Structure 1
Amino acid sequence: MTREKTHKWLVIILGVMITVSWIYPFFIIFFGSLKSRAEIFTNTIWIPETFVPENYSRAYEGLEYGRSFLNSLFITTSSIIIIVIFSSMAAYALARNKSKISTAIYFFCALTMLIPFQSVMIPLVSIFGQIDFLNRFGLIIMNWGFASSMSIFLYYGAMRSISVSLDEAAYLDGGTPFQIFWRVIFPILRPTTVTVVILNAIRLWNDFLLPSLVINQEGMRTIPLRMYYFFGEYTVQWELALAGLVLAIVPIIVLYIFIQRYIVEGVTKGAVKT
């Protein structure tokens, strides 16, 4: 019993240490956003002596938060809708087709996850620029392409766990392949869909590199791009940058809180029977 209690307490202590190590950076960011610029350097890792809530109103104006939020929301939402629709349909076709060609296509999609984004970034942006297809719609297409391999991988694994008898029963009832997928199969994939949504939403919402190369019109800048406004050539407005960072991460945290219970289930289903 003593050994079991010791093991239990060790697990608890380790869990608390890991939790604190994950939460503490957010603690620093949040309280840093309520400090003056001078206090950020003199009191970096603790609660502010004097709270400066005005940082948020100034950061809101500097970010042009309303416009940049809508830009980020439009790009992220549009990209995810396209990714979910086409990736799920592609995974369904690959999972239900038992030919060697479909298997080869699936493994090709899985292998593309190993290709570094940076290796194709510059040529891709150059090509899109030559055909005048940059800014928001070009970025959405690129997001779709880069996220499809992982999304197909997750959907494919979940699809393999769904019995083919459901398809056959729906087919005998007169359903077309399109109707069978959207009315019978896709609703069962809800946990996987939620996983695909949250994983892509976090990445796309916070992405800076690709939008910085693709978006060249001021009114189309996303929140991460507008964050660069606080980093000048000679000075950095750290108090506003931290406040802007809080404003930027709150929407994605809210989304995660609402749908996090589906994530573990979706990842588990996408990782088996592949």
Structure 2
Amino acid sequence: MQRAFSYRIAAFLVEVLLILAGLLFLVPFYFLLVNSVKTFGEILTHAAAWPTAFHFSNYAAAWESIDFPSAFGNSLLVTLVSNVLLLLISSMAAYQMVRNNTLFNRILFGLIVSAMVIPFQSIMLPLMEISNMLSLNNSIAGLILCYLGFGAPLSVFLFHGFIKTVPLEIEQAARVDGSNRYGVFFRVVLPLLQPMMITVLILNTLWIWNDYLLPSLILTYPDKRTIPIATYTLFGQYTKQWDLALPALVLGILPIVIFFLALQKYIVSGIAAGAVKG
């Protein structure tokens, strides 16, 4: 009885600590939201205080300053097209490697996975040279192509582990019914990959939507800017327009926060399923 009581006390203390840790992680969001409706002077003098007046006009000014509709459209286009291509190409590549377990495919899979440990900063200069050579600069299509290259290793790795859990007997039954290789994949295997597809979709969306470094290297024209690049224009060398930058940050992260909260339950289940060894 005493042991059970001690266990409940320990569990309660752990829950309290976790709640406090969660609140600690929410502190930056408090500063962001509270200061986004303050005047520039009030942000500098009383950053942690509650606003004396709510200046929601900051959002309208930020909307116009960074041309939010254009930046939002560019970010949405890049994120959607990159995700669709990554899901399709990575799932097909992983399926081929799993179902044709040859020495070549094993070596190829090892090379793809090893690409995940290469720091992006170490290949920035070669990337710029190649992009200039292929005329990919200031092109949405060029940026999408770069995201395919950098996003494929993790996506292939996750799909590779998940496909190992798909029973081979289901595919054999489909072949007996007359389906060819493509029919088996698109009609049988692809629907079974839905949990992992949602996981890959969430992880790549969070990365692509919030990425600053790669778009800043590829895109320089104002009409091609994504939301992170457009927001960065409010931070100059000598002045920082906090009364515009903070509302712009809220506008930029709001769509991705809604997207994440709507699909977060699939992350753990998908990654756990992909970690199962076939």
Equivalent residue, structure 2, for 1:81: 84
Equivalent residue, structure 2, for 1:271: 275
1:14 aligns with 2:17: yes
Q: Which structure 2 residues correspond to residues 20-99 of structure 1 after superposition, within 5 A?
A: 20-99=23-102
1:252 aligns with 2:238: no
Which structure 2 residue ranges, 5 or more long, are not aligned? none
Equivalent residue, structure 1, for 2:241: 237
Identical amino acids, percent of aligned pairs? 37
Equivalent residue, structure 1, for 2:105: 102
Aligned Cα RMSD in Å? 1.2
Tell me which amino acid in the other structure corresponds to 1:262: Y
2:170 to 159, 166, 169: 166
1:131 aligns with 2:134: yes
Q: In the aligned structure 2, how far is the partner of 1:132 from the partner of 1:36?
A: 43
Which structure 1 residue ranges, 5 or more long, are not aligned? none
Report the TM-score when normalising by structure 1.
0.97
Tell me which amino acid in the other structure corresponds to 1:252: I
Task: Flag as ranges the 4+ runs of structure 1 deviating above 2 A.
Answer: none
Report the TM-score when normalising by structure 2.
0.95
Per-residue deviation, 1:256 = 1.1
Q: In the aligned structure 1, how far is the partner of 2:122 from the partner of 2:238?
A: 32
Q: In the aligned structure 2, how far is the partner of 1:99 from the partner of 1:213?
A: 38
1:203 to 207, 210, 215: 207
Q: Deviation digits for residues 21-69 of structure 1, max 9, x if unmatched? A: 2211111111110111122122222322221111100011111011110
Tell me which amino acid in the other structure corresponds to 1:108: L
Q: In the aligned structure 1, how far is the partner of 2:118 from the partner of 2:238?
A: 37
Q: In the aligned structure 2, how far is the partner of 1:233 from the partner of 1:150?
A: 36
* Count of residues in Structure 1 that have an aligned counterpart in Structure 2: 274
Q: In the aligned structure 2, how far is the partner of 1:216 from the partner of 1:14?
A: 46
- Per mean C-alpha deviation after superposition, the further-off stretch among 230-239 and 81-90 is 230-239
Kept after mapping to 2: 8 A contact 1:76/1:204: yes
